[in-house]
Structure formats: structure tokens, C-alpha cells
Amino acid sequence: ARHLLGIEPLSPPEITSILDLADSYVDLNRRTIKHSDALAGMTQINMFFENSTRTQSSFELAGKRLGADVMNMSMQTSSVKKGETLIDTALTLNAMRPDLLVVRHPQSGAVDLLSEKVNCAVLNAGDGRHEHPTQALLDALTIRRAKGRLHRLTVAICGDIAHSRVARSNLILLGKMESRIRLVGPATLMPAGAGEFGCEIYEDMREGLADADVVMMLRLQKERMDGGFIPSEREYYHRWGLDAEKLAHAKPDAIVMHPGPMNRGVEIDGTIADDINRSVIQDQVEMGVAVRMAAMDLLARNLRAERGRAMAEGT
Ligand code: CP
């Protein structure tokens, strides 16, 4: 494929190839991420129309570790602020002949639309409530490294499912890889049609976490809420926040995940987030660099092959 716009179009073997390549970038002895020249001579532009700490910095590091020229567009100081549209911005950058565009945008579908207007590879770094494919891939790599497999694991995804592109990409990916998925949270934060993805739905945390192998907590995405869904953060924490008592219902070796950014004391107790025997939150961040390297490496190979064919055909 030319682009990575979501998990939806990927087959299980394609997901496995990305994870295998990402794994090969992790140096086991030094516990670091290797360097390569897979993107040497290529230009990567990061366009983030929404705030980011992890995704933007790890895409930048990943591009640099692969030898690309990496440019971070500062959307706050760009001509978008003067009214330039997403498409005009993309066409302007496209004229500078980038090879890879990494895009985050608050509107679902905006990255797909942009990909139709440019002739480089586009990677979705999160669009509205739609998809965050590299997050789901780095989560899968983290789970696979901790548990040795993805199939026949019980994964409880907890909290604000309705507004979460992370939850959506994860449940698509984990479903394709034959994990058993539970969605756990208040009915007001369950998306309509959640059952169609073949997952079990729970409102009670203790029931939802019973014998789970993986507990994935999500942030309350207040920026996507129209207001007035939860009584208070205190009550939310009491019912759906992950604390030691609720976690005790999961398997004794269950891992705890959170994509970040995390609100301690709202969806998760800080002690659990920092417990290196249970929490793999920092591993998720580390795997983010490896997964983004793998995704860009594979897209660059496809791009080179496509350009080679076009040269051969004289087009
Ligand atoms: N998980 C995630 O997307 O984090 P950032 O918003 O910091 O990139």
C-alpha cells in the first residue's frame, strides 16, 4: 500500500510483518532502538494540527534513526492561522517533494482526504475519533513482547471508548489477531454499535476485568465531549478508575497499559501506573519509535518500488 491511514485495511499477515520488522529494530542487549539508512535521501514532514507529545516526537526520532531529513511543521505559526485550508497546506508542502507526510488532525477522515491530494506516502498520526493506527500497532507489539502472542488473550479496554480513536484502532487490530476484547466503561461512553465488533461490553469494572490478561486504560477525552456526561472526576475514579482493588480481579500477571497522556487519579491510580511489575506504559512509548520506524520503512520500500515501475514505464 502507498499509505498507512488505518488498521481497517490491513490483513493479519500485514500486521504481523510490521510488528516483526519493528521487533528487529529493538536491540535486546542495549535496550535501545537501532539505526538504519532505510530512509536515506528521503524527506519526512510532520504536520500536527492537534497537540502531541509521544506521537510527534517518536515519529521525528523514528525518521532520524532511519536517516531521513525530518521537518516538523509548526501548525500554530503556519498560514493555517491565516485561513489556509488543510488541502492547500498539503498541496503547498507536496510541491516541496516530500516522500512521507505524517499527519494528525482533529477531524475524522481529514487524513484520508489529504492522502488523495498528494503524491507521497501519508501516515495517519490520529484523526478525530476515527483511527490512530501506529498507536494500535505499538500497543500490539508491547502486548506481544509481554505475553508472547496476541491470539486468545483477554484484553479489557476501559474508560472513554466513545471518543477514542485509540480504542477503535485497537479493537479492530486485536479482533483481527483473534484476541478476546471487552469494552468496559459507563454506558454514556460506549459508542453506538460497539457490539458489532464482536466484543463483550461491561459497565462494571470488576466484572469486565475478571481474569483479563491485559488492562488498557483510556483518558477521558473531554476535548471531544459536548459536556455533561459524568457526574464528577471523583465519582468516575471511584467507579471506573483503575486502583489495586479493581486490578486484583484481573489475572495476577495481567499487564496495565495506557496510551497517554494520562490523568492520574482520574482513570488510573498513579501507583499502578508507576508499578514496573504491572505497568508497561513506558514500554509502549519505547515501542512507538520501533513501530513508526517499521511503518515508514515499509512505506518507503513501496514508494521506491512504485517510482521504479513508473521510471521503467516512462511515466
Ligand atoms: N498516545 C498519543 O497519541 O499521545 P500523544 O497525544 O502525546 O501523541
Of 51, 52, 286, the residue with max ligand 1 atoms within 8 A of its CB, to mutate for a pocket test, comes to 52
Give the rounded distance of the alpha carbon of 262 from its chain centre. Answer: 15
Number of neighbours of residue 243 by Cβ within 10 angstroms: 15
182 is in an annotated binding site: no
**Residue ranges with strand state E in 110-179:** 121-127, 154-158
260 is in an annotated binding site: yes
Mean predicted confidence (pLDDT) in 85-99: 94
Cα separation, 269 vs 245, whole angstroms: 11
Output the CA 315–ligand 1 centroid distance in Å.
40
| pLDDT the model gives residue 314 | 85
Of 49, 53, 257, the residue with max ligand 1 atoms within 8 A of its CB, to mutate for a pocket test, comes to 53
Mean predicted confidence (pLDDT) in 183-195: 89
For the question of whether the overall pTM of this predicted structure is more than 0.90, the answer is yes
261 touches ligand 1 (CB under 6 Å): yes
Q: Which triple of cell numbers denotes residue 102?
A: 505524517
| pLDDT the model gives residue 244 | 98
Given a cut of 90, whether residue 225 has pLDDT beyond it is: no
Beta bridge partners of 71: 45
| Non-local CB neighbours of 58 within 8 Å, separated by 6+ positions | 285, 288, 289, 292
* pLDDT > 90: percent of the chain: 86
| pLDDT the model gives residue 132 | 98
| Non-local CB neighbours of 77 within 8 Å, separated by 6+ positions | none
| pLDDT the model gives residue 231 | 67
Number of neighbours of residue 53 by Cβ within 10 angstroms: 10
Output the CA 96–ligand 1 centroid distance in Å.
27
Of 50, 55, 142, the residue with max ligand 1 atoms within 8 A of its CB, to mutate for a pocket test, comes to 55
| Non-local CB neighbours of 304 within 8 Å, separated by 6+ positions | none
Q: Is the complex ipTM more than 0.95?
A: yes
154 touches ligand 1 (CB under 6 Å): no
Mean predicted confidence (pLDDT) in 55-73: 97
Mean predicted confidence (pLDDT) in 75-84: 87
Given a cut of 80, whether residue 220 has pLDDT beyond it is: yes
Output the CA 156–ligand 1 centroid distance in Å.
20
| pLDDT the model gives residue 229 | 61
175 touches ligand 1 (CB under 6 Å): no
| pLDDT the model gives residue 31 | 67
Closest residue by CA, ligand 1 atom 3: 55
Cα separation, 176 vs 134, whole angstroms: 15
Output the CA 166–ligand 1 centroid distance in Å.
9
104 is in an annotated binding site: yes
Closest residue by CA, ligand 1 atom 6: 52
Most confidently modeled range among 74-88, 219-233, 235-249: 235-249
Question: Which pLDDT band holds residue 32 (cuts at 50, 70, 90)?
Answer: confident
Given a cut of 80, whether residue 216 has pLDDT beyond it is: yes
52 touches ligand 1 (CB under 6 Å): yes
Given a cut of 70, whether residue 30 has pLDDT beyond it is: no
Given a cut of 90, whether residue 183 has pLDDT beyond it is: yes
- Residue from 215, 54, 217 nearest 135 by CA: 54
219 is in an annotated binding site: yes
Output the CA 244–ligand 1 centroid distance in Å.
25
* pLDDT > 70: percent of the chain: 97
Question: Which pLDDT band holds residue 227 (cuts at 50, 70, 90)?
Answer: low
| pLDDT the model gives residue 230 | 62
Q: Atom of ligand 1 at shortest distance to CA of 288?
A: 1
Average pLDDT value over all residues in the chain: 94
Mean predicted confidence (pLDDT) in 50-72: 97
